[in-house]
Amino acid sequence: MRLSRYFLPVMKESPAEAQIVSHKLMLRAGLVRQQAAGIYAWLPLGTRVLKKIEQIVREEQDRAGAIELLMPTLQSADLWRESGRYDAYGPEMLRITDRHDREMLYGPTNEEMVTAIFRDAARSYRDLPRILYHIQWKFRDETRPRFGVMRGREFLMKDAYSFDLDEAGARHSYNRMFVAYLNTFARMGLRAIPMQADTGPIGGDLSHEFIVLAPTGESDVFYHKNWEQPAELRSVDFEDVAGLQAIVGGYTKDYAATDEKRDEAAEAAASDDLRQSRGVEVGHIFYFGKKYSAAMGVKVQGPDGSEVVPEMGSYGIGVSRLMGAIIEASHDDKGIIWPDSVAPFQVGLINMRADDAACKAASDDLYAKLQAAGVEVLYDDRDERGGAKFATMDLIGLPWQIVVGPKGLANGIVELKRRATDERVEVSPEDAVAKVSAK
Ligand code: 5CA
């Protein structure tokens, strides 16, 4: 993409409306623009990152055995009357009336809808177990939308729902999602700590929140210092019931709890190893048994011919919130530092002298070669000062920068810079292409 033809409205100064660093940087780097309280337009650069995050979430859901579908944002009030949650949900639910005076709502979550879809299709034990998920916009009329996409009113969520024949099966589904979440966040460079958590309006008694530590986070959290190691990716067999349970057991042996679920005895046992911090909740998983399946009359025929009401759980990831969490975890005073896995482009190609024929020819050539090598590249071909170009590239945080200037070019070299470490090397254009395309 040529920057001269792109749509990237960056800001030099921090906007007054933003309090935390990720919100400031998302506005300054031209990722989002607020359209109403807690409602954002995703600009082209932000859209690219959102799609990358979404794709990692999707791949890890698929790997864990979940199946993707897509449910609508608008739902009928009658569906929610079946579970009894229509009145219980309160003012957080955006209620809408259509032209026929039918009561509708903008979905804050999808337990009711997916349960109805499953109920109408599932007949016997052969239709279980299943985990269905979608990645769809939600609306919650939060009292205090704030911190940009961190606490929005309209936000993108991945929500999965499991259906099992019995409690042991439901536990296995829960474990699938638990491990899938650890891998999902690790691929984004995040250490997310699974913490015992409250279930709120979703219900149930087994629940974990996945929390990324950040001083600006909204949750108060308490954990054993063992959690302070970097995240690791695990290669697992999701069909191995005992193996998966052992992994989850390993991950839950060290104390970690949100404010509402603090355990005095466990904290006393952790003693000097207890840590307190703040964190951002990027995921939340729930096991709630028959709460929705019983209320909504889901029944399948069991292997012995008897009727079975499925056991259920639901599993959410804050896809749009993750963008804020990643920036909170990865930035410096110049701007964002994207992990390679979610970067909007891998390389920023800077032509220092757009008015110099040799620089232009060499930059155009590099641009073509990078594209041919399948590298996502943003080419700053604008007629601007070098300083302004560097500042923009550092602000938007692409993992690599390749700088083409007249002096280097006279000696057949360009500068290759790694944004995260500021490490710079002088290399031939060919070597620069090889280096950034190496996986
Ligand atoms: N139905 C369940 C699981 S699918 C559910 O809705 N869980 S939730 O309420 O915990 O939301 C799931 C995730 O969505 C949260 O962990 C959080 O990362 C994200 N989320 C929730 N509210 C907001 C919000 N107002 N803005 C941005 N992200 C949010």
Determine the distance separating the centroid of ligand 1 and the alpha carbon of 4, expressed in angstroms.
38
Where residue 150 falls among pLDDT bands split at 50, 70, 90?
very high
Over residues 374-387, mean pLDDT: 97
Residue 11's alpha-carbon distances to 129, 232, 238, 392, in angstroms, are: 50, 35, 45, 9
Spatial CA neighbour of 5 closest among 369, 381, 376, 347? 381
List pLDDT tens digits, range 170-221. Answer: 999 999 999 999 999 999 999 999 998 887 776 677 899 999 998 889 889 9
Supply angle C-alpha 26, 31, 33, rounded to 5.
85
Phi then psi for residue 376, to 5 deg, are -80, 115
- What whole-number distance in Å separates Cα of residue 431 and Cα of residue 369? 11
Q: Which of 260, 284, 326 to mutate to test the pocket of ligand 1 (most atoms within 8 A of CB)?
A: 284
Distance from C-alpha of 423 to C-alpha of 405, rounded to nearest angstrom: 18
Using a 6 Å cutoff on CB, does residue 291 contact ligand 1? no
Question: What's the whole-number mean pLDDT along residues 422-435?
Answer: 98
Residue of the nearest CA to atom 14 in ligand 1?
318
Q: For ligand 1, say whether the CB of 315 is within 6 Å of any of its atoms.
A: yes
Q: Is the CB of 59 under 6 A from ligand 1?
A: no
| pLDDT for position 229 | 83
Report the mean per-residue pLDDT for the chain: 96
pLDDT for 439 beyond 80: no
The three-state secondary structure class of 82 is: helix
Convert the pLDDT of each residue in 234-243 to its tens digit. Answer: 899 999 999 9
Among protein residues, the one whose CA lies closest to atom 16 of ligand 1:
283
- Cα 438 to averaged position of ligand 1 atoms, centre (Å): 36
Q: What is the spatial distance between Cα 211 and Cα 201, in angstroms, rounded to a whole number?
A: 19
> Residue 80: how many CB atoms within 10 A of its CB?
23
Kindly tell me the burial class for residue 276, based on how many C-beta atoms sit within 10 Å of its own C-beta (0-12, 13-18, 19 or more). Answer: exposed
**142 CB less than 6 Å from ligand 1?**
yes
The 10s digit of each residue's pLDDT in 288-330 is 999 999 999 999 999 999 999 999 999 999 999 999 999 999 9
Comparing CA positions, the residue from 130, 200, 123, 120 lying closest to residue 161 is 130
pLDDT of residue 19 exceeding 90, the answer is yes
Dist. CA 108 → ligand 1 center (Å): 9
Q: Per-residue confidence at 96, pLDDT binned at 50, 70, 90?
A: very high
pLDDT tens sequence across 105-119: 999 999 999 999 999
Q: Give the DSSP per-residue string, 338-368.
A: --GGG-S-SEEEEES-TT-HHHHHHHHHHHH
CA distance 286 to 385: 53
Task: Look at residue 142 and give its three-state secondary structure.
Answer: coil
Q: Which residue in the block uniquely carries the two structure tokens 């060499």?
A: 362
Å from CA of 317 to ligand 1 middle? 6
Return the H-helix or E-strand segment holding 322: helix 319-329
pTM tops 0.75, yes or no: yes
- Indicate if ligand 1 lies below 6 Å from the C-beta of 151: yes
| pLDDT of 434 above 90 | yes
Please tell me what DSSP assigns to residue 261: G
Q: Is 155 in the pocket of ligand 1 (CB under 6 A)?
A: yes
Question: Quick check: 379 pLDDT over 90?
Answer: yes
Strand partners, 96: 104
Which of ligand 1's atoms lies nearest the C-alpha of 157? 14
- Residue 312 phi/psi, 5-degree rounding, is -130, 160
So what's the pLDDT on residue 47?
98
**Which of 414, 358, 408, 354 minimizes the C-alpha distance to 386?**
354
CA–centroid distance, 285 to ligand 1, in Å, is 10
User: Contact, 66 vs 132, CB < 8 A?
Assistant: yes
424 Cα–ligand 1 center, Å: 41
What pLDDT sits at residue 232? 82
Q: Above 90 in pLDDT, residue 157?
A: yes
Banded pLDDT at 59 (limits 50, 70, 90): very high
- State the average pLDDT over residues 253-267: 92
Please, which pLDDT band fits residue 11 given cuts at 50, 70 and 90?
A: very high
What confidence score (pLDDT) does residue 199 get? 77
Q: Is the CB of 154 under 6 A from ligand 1?
A: no
Tally of CB atoms within 10 A around 355: 8
Nearest CA to 128 among 317, 313, 315, 316?
Answer: 313
Q: What Rg do the C-alpha atoms of the chain give, in angstroms?
A: 24
Strands 256-258 and 219-224 turn out to be antiparallel
CA distance 8 to 393: 11
The helix/strand/coil state of 332 is strand
Among 157, 159, 209, 219, name the best residue to mutate to test ligand 1's pocket (greatest count of ligand atoms within 8 A of Cβ).
157
Atom of ligand 1 nearest to the CA of 153: 25
